[in-house]
Chains A and B, each alone.
Chain A
């Protein structure tokens, strides 16, 4: 039998391989796509063109055995590593037999460009880079999720939605444990002492896998953040 802990998938992506919802980006800028005025239309076009040159968009995941032990109502084990995911996420992962731990990033280039413009002469352009960076990161997350879904469906298994430290009372400090399951700097992403990711436009988390797991949309009534990228997903 294959040791699933040995399976690590890593993939770089080109911008044009990702599904980016430009209509949503326009709405984030305050307009419908067809009504986007200058300078926003020009900025969005500029950022899209620039993103086609990005070479550091990346996603990686590793499959782990999922063990439910100890305080099962609030924790979940990926192999020997315990994640204190909190009640909400633990409940979603309750029937998982495996976990996919993942790290995805839009890369250093766009994260740095966004920061430079936001702090510099053109904060609006910086903001367009910022929301595009977030969109790319989530699009990579979607790709990774689809890869996992396709892979496990061959075994008759399903996946849950993806869950990240920092949300639903899963302490962001657990990101150190999550990263310990990968070689150093997966996809070039590193952690600060306070468990924050660099590049900024990165996400990490887990996806539950099993024959009896259920894919549920995020429980947005638990949160009061109206513009969250996960709302309704």
Chain B
């Protein structure tokens, strides 16, 4: 693999945003995702390779470490920031069609629930693994998901909830999505949710962590 892409993957994995960033301490003073992405593009590395061989492997490693409790939310946020800083340089290539994302993932916290840290982590991780993410925010009624599906045919849906009492909202939304768009895949997650509940409400997958969503997407639509 191109040495720059190896370095880029490390920048994402450890959350090195740019040269000026003090984090992580062991990479202080080194180029970050910002500079290395620019250098890779300038040296002729295709944007698709930067995404697929630099950014995505780094983000995947973060997802696995987060699952294994080896890193915590702030480190994931740092990695996501490094990723998004690099993506700024790649945006024109996605816009022109020269580089392509794998598919679209629509995510929101269900109606009756304002918690969004978990939802944001999933969104960042999925985006970092090469998908376009449509983030509907929090307290989302079924109509909002249905409208987003109409605008993004073929997209996979992610429903997030933190409160035990908003699981009923998750069930209602899943059923409405499945009634209107039977082929649409629905992933559910959040502290009170488990696979038994997923089965009961007719969703397609329960993901206990962000990497679980990525793995499901990679299986189904990548």
Is this pair of chains taken from one and the same complex?
yes
Selected contact of B71 from candidates A30, A118, A168, A194, CB within 8 Å: A30
CB distance from B75 to the nearest CB of A (A): 6
What's the dominant secondary structure at chain B's contact region?
A: loop
Q: Which residues of B contact A194 (CB under 8 A)?
A: 111-112, 139
CB distance from A102 to the nearest CB of B (A): 18
B113 interfacial by beta-carbon distance below 8 Å: yes
Quick one: given A166-B165, A167-B164, A224-B192, are A28 and B114 in contact (CB under 8 Å)? no
Selected contact of A37 from candidates B25, B166, B192, CB within 8 Å: B25
Q: Which residues of chain B (100-147) have a CB below 8 Å from chain A?
A: 111-114, 116-117, 120, 139
A138 interfacial by beta-carbon distance below 8 Å: no
B78 touches A124 (CB 8 A): yes
Question: Closest residue of chain A to B191, judged by CB?
Answer: A225
A228 interfacial by beta-carbon distance below 8 Å: yes
Quick one: given A124-B74, A194-B111, A196-B139, are A38 and B23 in contact (CB under 8 Å)? yes
B29 interfacial by beta-carbon distance below 8 Å: no
A123 touches B80 (CB 8 A): yes
Question: Closest residue of chain B to A121, judged by CB?
Answer: B81
Tier of interface size on chain B = 20 to 34
Quick one: given A38-B23, A127-B117, A200-B114, are A170 and B165 in contact (CB under 8 Å)? yes
Question: Closest residue of chain A to B116, judged by CB?
Answer: A118
A215 interfacial by beta-carbon distance below 8 Å: no
Selected contact of B73 from candidates A127, A167, A224, A228, CB within 8 Å: A127
**CA A197 – CA B25 in complex, angstroms?**
39
B24 interfacial by beta-carbon distance below 8 Å: yes
Question: Closest residue of chain B to A43, judged by CB?
Answer: B74
Show the binding face of A for B, using Cβ within 8 Å.
28-30, 37-40, 118, 123-124, 127-128, 130, 165-173, 192, 194-197, 200, 223-225, 228
